[in-house]
Amino acid sequence: MGRGKVELKRIENKINRQVTFAKRRNGLLKKAYELSILCDAEVAAIVFSSRGRLFEFCSSSSMLKIIERYRRCSHHASESMVPTNDTPVTQTCYQEYLKLKTHVGYLQHSQKNLLGEDLDTLNIKELDQLDDQIEMSLRLIRSTKTQVIIDQLTGLKREEQMLLESNKTLRRKLQEVDAENSIRLPSQIRASNCIDEPPQPEKFFEPLVCHPSLQIG
């Protein structure tokens, strides 16, 4: 059974739209690559996502060369993009601009490769170089991470030692206070007893009076 005709309209579901974009984009770039190989054609494809991310394919070594060739051949190209003044200064500035733009494009392409994108356009040698570059970056990241952990542990041990020293100092001061209190307290107790004890009354004796009686009988 044949496949039904798909209506061309904007996909409302965000996830489905992103999945469709990724599939169609890869298919478009793959077709451009196959066209350049099978027909020995000079092909360039440029795609911008809804978020402004750039995806491109270029069959030659420079995307700018193809773009400049398109501008020369197209009657609708903007004349403001190409300098009309043939002075040496203008030509030098324009060449510098092209070099910088090429370099920016190369950096963007390299960044996408590092993120695992557009790898199907790389050959074995380029993939090996990318693998070595990623491995070197991972070693540097692991080394930096280990050094950060060591520095943090060293700082924690230093703080622990400072806390131990502070604890010892506080304990020593507490012992000194306890010793002073143990010496001062008995004297205070004795002084308190002397003040609070009431004076003892003087003792006296009364003479014993006897009245003898004589009975004769």
CATH number of the domain bearing residue 71:
3.40.1810.10
Q: Is 81 domain-assigned?
A: yes
Maximum CA extent, the chain:
180
For the whole prediction, is pTM greater than 0.85? Answer: no
Task: For 128-191, give the DSSP string.
Answer: HHHHHHHHHHHHHHHHHHHHHHHHHHHHHHHHHHHHHHHHHHHHHHHHHHHHHHHHHHHHHHHH
Q: Is it the case that residue 106 has pLDDT exceeding 90?
A: no
User: Quick one: pLDDT at residue 48?
Assistant: 86
User: Quick one: pLDDT at residue 150?
Assistant: 94
Domain that holds residue 85: 14-89
Q: Is 48 domain-assigned?
A: yes
- Segment 113-120 shows an average pLDDT of 79
User: Quick one: pLDDT at residue 96?
Assistant: 81
pLDDT band of 77, cuts 50, 70, 90: very low
pLDDT band of 97, cuts 50, 70, 90: confident
Q: Is it the case that residue 199 has pLDDT exceeding 60?
A: no
Q: Is 185 domain-assigned?
A: no
> What pLDDT digit, counting tens, does each position of 7-40 carry?
778 888 888 888 888 889 888 989 999 998 999 8
- Segment 79-86 shows an average pLDDT of 52
Tokens standing for residue 106: 């190369």
Q: Is it the case that residue 184 has pLDDT exceeding 70?
A: yes
Task: For 93-105, give the DSSP string.
Answer: HHHHHHHHHHHHH
Question: Which own/partner pairs from 40-46 qualify as long-range (CB within 8 Å, at least 24 positions apart)?
Answer: 42/66, 42/69, 44/70
For residues 43 and 40, what is the distance between their CA atoms, to the nearest angstrom? 9
The total number of structural domains in the chain stands at 1
In the chain, pLDDT over 70 holds for what percent of residues?
Answer: 74
Q: Which helix (H) or strand (E) holds 29?
A: helix 14-38
Tokens standing for residue 137: 């970056």
User: Quick one: pLDDT at residue 211?
Assistant: 55
Kindly give, in sequence order, each residue whose CB lies less than 8 Å from that of residue 69, ignoring residues fewer than 6 positions away. 42
Q: Is 105 domain-assigned?
A: no
Secondary structure class of 34 (helix, strand, coil): helix
Q: Is 57 domain-assigned?
A: yes
Q: Is it the case that residue 202 has pLDDT exceeding 60?
A: no
Q: Is 42 domain-assigned?
A: yes
Q: Is 163 domain-assigned?
A: no
For residues 116 and 26, what is the distance between their CA atoms, to the nearest angstrom? 13
- Segment 158-187 shows an average pLDDT of 86
Q: Is 215 domain-assigned?
A: no
What is the pLDDT of the chain when averaged over all its residues? 78
pLDDT band of 78, cuts 50, 70, 90: very low
User: Quick one: pLDDT at residue 195?
Assistant: 53
